């Protein structure tokens, strides 16, 4: 599905990602793990085309997209749920969801059935302002917006960060459903090792802008977690 | 008194036509477009030239001016502004340069005056446009006689403001523009072609300024530097109203236009202008984000 080769990424003068290579299989959940500030979010932003400059290859279904514009990547099936959600506070729930639909192949934004099914709260509050929603509801909205693009690959950046515990489980279930039932390929940036082990097929551990370990989730040992994630 | 308010409203209308484009380009793209005033100037010259060379009526000049200035705006965006997104001060300097270029090219008749070739209507001199007879004289509304030309300006502005509002709030293109104003990175990540939308927005804003130029040509002399002061007025409105807010722009242009007209009645135009500056400074000091800025994240 996605094949990254020798990817380097820059913001201004700072060189943030160093020689990242990673294979993401179709239908897999790949967790990107590591401490704060090692470049996990930058990796997702770079995949979406939001960094200043890159070298290397990003092959999406056999096509190199490393120099494509962000909107073109979105239209070729990558959807992004950023850290901090970044929904638009003075757009209604409906407008926020439809915003994701500009990436649809036919260019006609609609609210997909899966959103209605997964997020009954959003369905019932389509005319509310996005800014009035709680953190967990905003996270649901950000996921709904990504789903409106009808994507093949979903980039999720710490979907459970700063959300009340009651909703965390709900969001986890949603991610399970999107992957296991709908076959969405997912790249997940996560701090929570327990959830990463439950959901992912593969993992990649990052340290100082490099991938220092990767493999199937079975190889994500406690030693590895201890070495690269405990503060 | 009603007459003064009416004159103020017509001043406000011109201000609004100039400021709408600025409010959207500054809000959506973070570009300070110093050449915006020169779109007004070009709009005014289109009126002059379409009369001299094509013998077209004043009314026909309105759509022509819109398309000519929109096209020039599109070219400026493609060639210069596009390379400068995210660099506010650089956009100011670069567009200022464009502004000087445009003014000089009109003054020097595109450089042809060096070869002794003169184009009627261009050059450093002053040009006048005569308003069609339908718009001369007065119309009788609700017991008062109103200057027909000023009524026309107000009506054109009302229609164009409504069209702008409808585009922004009732079309899919408008959703894209508003999404870019709020969060350009996320807009791009949602599949919005930010460059294309920006270019079209820039062109539309320039087109509105061109129409403002047609309106101005009817009651002011047309000359190459006329845009320089207008761009300042436009930015005063945008800053006072709140960047990126269409309602703020409408209300601020109304406010500043009326203040100008009222103070001018009791003193003169120069003092009126000083008072307008003072009001804008007070607004910036008391509400740095303008009167009606949208809530930040």
Instruction: Please spell the DSSP secondary structure of B227-249, one letter per residue.
Output: HHHHHHHHHHHHHHH-TT-HHHH
Mean pLDDT, rounded, for A88-99: 93
Q: Do B179 and A91 touch (CB under 8 A)?
A: yes
Q: Which residues of B touch A149 (CB under 8 A)?
A: 190-191
pLDDT tens-place string over residues B27-48: 777 889 999 999 999 999 999 9
Structure tokens at A16: 């943030």
Taking 90 as the threshold, does the pLDDT of residue B268 lie above it? no
Please tell me the distance from the alpha carbon of residue A193 to that of residue A187, in angstroms, as a whole number. Answer: 15
**What does the buried/exposed string (b/e) look like for B160-186 if buried means 16 or more CB atoms within 10 Å of the residue's CB?**
bbeebeeebeeeeebbbbbbbbbbbbb
Q: How far are the Cα atoms of A141, A177, A218 from residue A173, in angstroms, in the given order?
A: 15, 6, 21
Say what the pLDDT of residue B294 is: 57
Which pair of structure tokens corresponds to residue B231?
């761009």
Sequence-separated contacts (24+) of A110-116 with Cβ below 8 Å? A110/A148, A111/A144, A111/A148, A112/A147, A112/A148, A112/A150, A114/A147, A114/A182, A115/A144, A115/A147, A115/A148
pLDDT at B3: 82
**Quick one: average pLDDT of A143-148?**
96
CA A23, CA A43: separation in Å to the nearest integer?
A: 13
Residue B6 near residue B141, CB atoms below 8 Å: no
Q: Which residue of B has its CA nearest to A155?
A: B189
Q: Which domain holds residue A79?
A: 2-229
Q: Which of B179, B191, B297 sits opposite A74 (nearest CB)?
A: B191
Q: What percentage of chain A exceeds 90 in pLDDT?
A: 82
Contact A174, A137 (CB under 8 A): no
Q: How confident is the model at residue B297 (pLDDT cuts 50, 70, 90)?
A: very low
Q: Where are the domains of chain B?
A: 2-101+134-226
Partner A contacted by B181 (CB < 8 A): no
- pLDDT per residue as tens digits for the range A6-24: 999 998 889 999 999 999 9
Rounded average pLDDT over A125-136:
93
Residue to test with chain A: of B182, B190, B247, most A Cβ within 10 A:
B190
DSSP B137-173: SEEEETTEEEEHHHHHHHHHHHHHHHHHHHHHHHSHH
The domain total for chain A is 1
B295 with A100: Cβ contact below 8 A: no
Mean pLDDT (whole number) for B217-241: 90
Q: Where is pLDDT greater, at B26 or B77?
A: B77
Question: Residue B217's closest CA among B98, B68, B61?
Answer: B61
Structure confidence at residue B127 (pLDDT): 84
pLDDT at res. B38 = 95
pLDDT at residue A164 is higher than 90: no
Parallel, antiparallel, or unpaired: how do β-strands A53-60 and A29-33 relate? unpaired
What average pLDDT does chain B have? 89
**Chain B residue with minimal CA distance to A91?**
B179
What is the mean predicted confidence (pLDDT) over B190-198?
92
ipTM above 0.95, yes or no: no
Residue A192 three-state SS: coil
Instruction: Look at residue B296 and tell me whether its pLDDT is greater than 80.
Output: no
| CATH of residue A38 | 3.40.50.300
How far lies A87's CA from each of A96, A97, A117, A157, in Å? Answer: 7, 9, 20, 14
Is B246 within 8 Å of chain A by CB? no
pLDDT tens, residue by residue, B48-72: 999 888 888 899 999 999 999 999 9
Q: What is the pLDDT of residues B75-105, one digit of tens each?
A: 999 999 999 988 889 999 999 999 999 999 9
Give the mutation candidate from B172, B189, B195 for the A interface (greatest A CB count, under 10 A): B189
| Cβ contacts of A95 on chain B, cutoff 8 Å | 175
């Amino acid at each position: 599905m996605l094949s990254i080769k020798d990817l380097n990424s820059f913001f201004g003068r700072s060189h943030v990602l160093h020689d990242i290579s990673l294979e993401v299989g179709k239908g897999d959940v790949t967790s990107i793990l590591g401490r704060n500030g090692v470049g996990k979010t930058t990796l997702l932003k770079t995949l979406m085309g939001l960094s200043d400059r890159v070298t290397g290859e990003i092959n999406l279904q056999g096509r190199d997209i490393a120099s494509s514009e962000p909107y073109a990547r979105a239209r070729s099936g990558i959807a992004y749920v950023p850290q901090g959600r970044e929904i638009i506070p003075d757009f209604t729930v409906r407008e926020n969801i439809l915003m994701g639909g500009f990436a649809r192949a036919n260019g006609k934004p609609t609210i997909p059935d899966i959103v209605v099914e997964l997020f009954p709260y959003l369905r019932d509050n389509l005319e509310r302002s996005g800014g009035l929603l709680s953190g967990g509801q905003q996270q649901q909205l950000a996921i709904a917006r990504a789903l409106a693009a009808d994507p093949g690959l979903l980039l999720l950046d710490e979907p459970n960060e700063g959300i009340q515990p009651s909703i965390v489980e709900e969001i986890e279930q949603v991610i399970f459903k999107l992957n296991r039932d709908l076959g969405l390929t997912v790249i997940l940036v996560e701090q929570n090792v327990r959830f990463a082990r439950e959901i992912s097929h593969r993992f990649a551990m990052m340290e100082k802008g490099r991938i220092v370990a990767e493999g199937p989730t079975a190889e994500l040992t406690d030693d590895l977690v201890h070495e690269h994630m405990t503060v | 008194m009603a007459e003064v308010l009416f004159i103020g409203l017509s001043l406000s209308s011109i201000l609004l036509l100039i400021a709408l484009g600025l409010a959207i380009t500054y809000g959506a793209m973070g570009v300070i477009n110093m050449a915006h005033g020169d779109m007004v100037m070009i709009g005014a010259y289109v009126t002059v030239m379409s009369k001299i060379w094509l013998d077209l009526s004043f009314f026909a000049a309105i759509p022509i001016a819109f398309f000519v200035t929109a096209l020039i705006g599109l070219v400026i965006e493609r060639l210069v502004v596009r390379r400068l997104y995210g660099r506010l001060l650089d956009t100011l300097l670069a567009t200022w340069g464009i502004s000087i270029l445009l003014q000089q090219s009109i003054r020097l008749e595109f450089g042809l005056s060096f070869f002794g070739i003169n184009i009627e209507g261009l050059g450093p001199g002053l040009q006048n446009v005569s308003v069609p007879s339908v718009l001369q004289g007065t119309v009788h509304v609700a017991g008062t006689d109103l200057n027909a030309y000023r009524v026309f300006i107000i009506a054109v502005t009302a229609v164009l403001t409504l069209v702008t509002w409808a585009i922004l709030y009732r079309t899919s293109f408008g959703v894209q523009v508003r999404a870019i104003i709020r969060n350009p990175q996320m807009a791009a990540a949602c599949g919005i072609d930010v460059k294309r939308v920006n270019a079209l927005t820039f062109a539309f804003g320039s087109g509105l300024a061109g129409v403002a130029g047609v309106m101005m040509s009817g009651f002011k002399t047309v000359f190459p530097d006329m845009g320089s002061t207008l761009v300042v007025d436009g930015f005063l409105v945008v800053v006072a109203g709140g960047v990126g807010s269409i309602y703020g722009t409408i209300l601020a242009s109304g406010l500043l236009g009326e203040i100008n007209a009222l103070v001018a009645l009791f003193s003169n135009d120069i003092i009126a202008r000083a008072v307008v500056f003072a009001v804008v400074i007070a607004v910036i000091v008391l509400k740095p984000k303008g009167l009606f800025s949208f809530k930040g994240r």
